Every structure is written in C-alpha cells, then in structure tokens.
Structure 1
Amino acid sequence: MPATKAHQSPKRSKAEICRKAQLSKIKQVHPSNSTRSSLPSAELSNISHLVGIGCAGIAKVFGAMNIAPPPKEDHFEETDKRILLPWINKFQNESIQAASYEAVDEKDGDPTMFTVIGDGMWQKCGFKSIHGMATVLLCATTQKVLDAERLSKKCLVCTGALNFKNENPDLYDEIIHNDDCESNYDGSSGKLGFLY
C-alpha cells in the first residue's frame, strides 16, 4: 500500500485560533518588561500621592484603562521612601518657613501679634483611627499652614515583627533594631485636636 500524504488544510484549526487569541490577550495584559508602563516609578509615585490613591489605586486605574500594571508594591514603596518623601518634606519645610516669615512681616516684624489655631483630624471618623494629622494654621487675611505633623499610633513593621517574637527572637530583635518606627503618638485619639 502506497504511503499517503497527510492532507494539510489551509484553514487553521479552532484550537490554534483560540491559542493565538489567548496569547494576544496575555500580551496585552502582561507585556514584556521592555513595554511596561512608560512612566518611571518615581512619576507614578508622585501621581499616586497627588491624587491620594497609592499604589493599589494606580493598579486599579491602570487595570480599568487596560494598561500594563505599575511596578510591584515593594519597589513602589522603596521609590516612595527613597525619592519622593524626602522631597515632599523638603518643600513642606520651605513652604512652612516662608509662611511664618510672611506672617511676621505682615505684622510689622512682631511675631507676638498674629494668632494661630491648631487643629487635628484622624483618618477615620470617631476615636478608633490609628493614623492622623495635626496642623497649626495662621489666622490672618492670608491663611497659611505653619506646621503639619503626621501622627500614627501604630507601626506596621513593629506589629508584623511580633509574629517572630516567640519563634525567632533574634530575627525579632534585628527587625526592631533596624526599623525606623512610624509610631509617634501615644494617647487618646480624641485628644489629637488639643496637642497644640
């Protein structure tokens, strides 16, 4: 019996079409690293702070717009701490210093002649929030912020380290020793407005 040639159809099989369609969708959702978002992570960090949504919010917005996801959360936080926050603090301090000089100049150089007011707020309503903000505002014709302080009753790193306290005391001590603790307020949430 002579060998027959396998008949090759010019049409593609349904399985091949489906596989190519799936690959195409995967490339749209998860492109290669070279075609990931064109915004550097520092710019993404700036944008997320300006609109107040953080890395998770940026990921949701990108997902809704069918854009490649932003860098991973740990890289985002590292960029945040290393690049963005020092600049925010620098400009905040310069702005506050300029506002205080302006206020003194407005009162003919006498710093005892202007009135300030302190105010505090917490992230959540009620007195159970663990993160808050306290400000000192100038009461004059041009209102200025003279001081602003972020307050936190809890440090997430210290809280997470408690998981290791009994099982691995050396690791716990290392984490606690190397941590720049975020907790800077120990008191009632209701008293925040009376700090200043």
Structure 2
Amino acid sequence: MNHMMAFVAANVARIKRTGMTTILGMLNILPPVQIEKWNKYQKIYSNALDVVKDESLGRVAEEAAEQSSEAADHEGVTNIKVSIDGTWLTPRGHSSLHGVATVCSTADPPKVLDFECLSRPCTTCSGLLAIREHNPEMYQQLLAEHIESGCEVYMKL
C-alpha cells in the first residue's frame, strides 16, 4: 500500500493514524507507517494545504474588497468591515486542546477572510520528551501506549 495514499485517505476520512491502523489490523494488513514517517507525511500534507489555503483566502479577500462599497485603497491599504469570532471546544466538565478563530467580511454573502486553528500541547507527550534523551526505547514504548490510549494531540494527526 502506498504510504502517502494511506495517509491522505486517513486524513480525508478523518480517522487519522490510529483509525487507519485499526481498520488495517482488522483486515490483517500491516499498519500503514511508523509514527516518524506518519509525522513526515503530516508535514508534507500540511504544507500543501497551507499553499492552497493561502491562495484561496487571497482570492476571497480580493472579492470581499471589490464587494465592499466602503473599501478605499490608500497607499496599498484596503478597508473592509469584518466580524471576528473565536471559541474553544469545551465539553461539559473538560478543558479542551482545540479551538478556532475566524475573520469574516460583512459583505453579502459573507466571506471567510482568515482563520486560525488553535491547540494546546498534550502535557503527557511533553513529559515523555524528558525520557527520550535518557532511554529512547522506553520513550518509544510509553509514547506508543499513550497514543493508543487516545492522545488528543496525536488523534488530530
């Protein structure tokens, strides 16, 4: 199985590495990639998405500026009325690792001009980094156990 294709399929299906590993295990197929390779593919995929996102948001900003009757270009500055909102995912009784902030034009129809996905690092993953320097084998074992137990940071990878 092509590892990059397995990676893209897992991301598109929103099942990530643990979901893909579970499905392939049920089919008696070896896991798609080791965590190090998975992270390498994540970086390639993320960079490609950033390029597409930046191009798309640039086009949307131009459209919003054209639609805005109050847009005035003074020395390269365009004024557009916007609405800004943000939130953290907060299930009852829990703090969250994930949030989002958006900037939307007030044109009709509104356009998303920019957004930011926010996250806090996993404290367990951070704590395991201290072990990595002194005992790499134990680090790999503990990290694998932690990921399998449902690390929220790795679940989004």
The TM-score bracket by the shorter chain reads 0.5 to 0.7
Q: Offset of 1:108 from its aligned partner?
A: 4.3
Query: Counterpart of 1:140 in 2: which secondary structure?
Result: coil
- The gaps in structure 2 that reach 5 residues or longer are 72-77, 136-157
Higher RCO, Cα 8 Å, sep 6+: 2
1 CA distance for matches of 2:27 and 2:104? Answer: 40
Q: Map Cα deviations across residues 117-166 of structure 1 (whole Å, 9 max, x no partner).
A: 322233x525611232222223332232211212222266643224469x
TM-score in terms of structure 1 length: 0.53
Counterpart of 1:87 in structure 2 is 48
Answering whether residue 13 of structure 2 is matched by residue 51 of structure 1, we say yes
TM-score in terms of structure 2 length: 0.64
In the alignment of these two chains, the number of paired residues is 127
8 Å CA contact 2:4, 2:41 repeated in 1: yes
Identity rate of aligned residues, in percent? 24
2 CA distance for matches of 1:113 and 1:145? Answer: 12
Counterpart of 1:100 in structure 2 is 61
Counterpart of 2:34 in structure 1 is 72
- The gaps in structure 1 that reach 5 residues or longer are 1-36, 169-196
Q: Which has the larger radius of gyration?
A: 1
Q: Map Cα deviations across residues 79-114 of structure 1 (whole Å, 9 max, x no partner).
A: 111x11111111111111111111001114704353
Query: Counterpart of 2:116 in 1: which secondary structure?
Result: strand
8 Å CA contact 2:24, 2:30 repeated in 1: yes
